[in-house]
Amino acid sequence: MHARLQEPATQRVERRLAATLLRMVKQSGRRVEGGVEIPFAVSRQELAEMIATTLFTVSRTLAAWEQEGIVSGKRSSHLVIGKSHRLVQIAEQA
């Protein structure tokens, strides 16, 4: 818990978002065509609140990741992680 509280002050937004999505995948992800799905709807606003940033920042980051094929999904649907190895790389960056 201490580490999670320390994240906003010490880690870049991309790293925090990647780590959050990976936690969701680990806890409840399921394999689907094209990757691993987070089987519940999570809004960009909810993600922003989870990682202590703005909706704009989360939207911009996810849009860039969608362009790279790392994630896919519309705002109101479930996210599919297409390149989980890339998320791991982002989450582990210093």
Architecture per CATH, domain 2-92, reads as: Orthogonal Bundle (1.10)
- CB count within 10 Å of CB 23 equals 14
Residues in CB range of 88: below 8 A, 6 or more apart: 18, 22
Per residue in 79-89, pLDDT (tens digit) is: 999 999 999 99
Higher per-residue confidence, 7 vs 17: 17
Q: What is the CA radius of gyration of the chain?
A: 12
Per residue in 22-35, pLDDT (tens digit) is: 999 999 999 999 99
Strand partners, 72: 80
* Residues composing the chain: 94
Residues in CB range of 46: below 8 A, 6 or more apart: none
What is the residue extent of each domain of the chain?
2-92
The predicted model gives 60-87 an average pLDDT of 90
Q: Specify the pTM.
A: 0.84
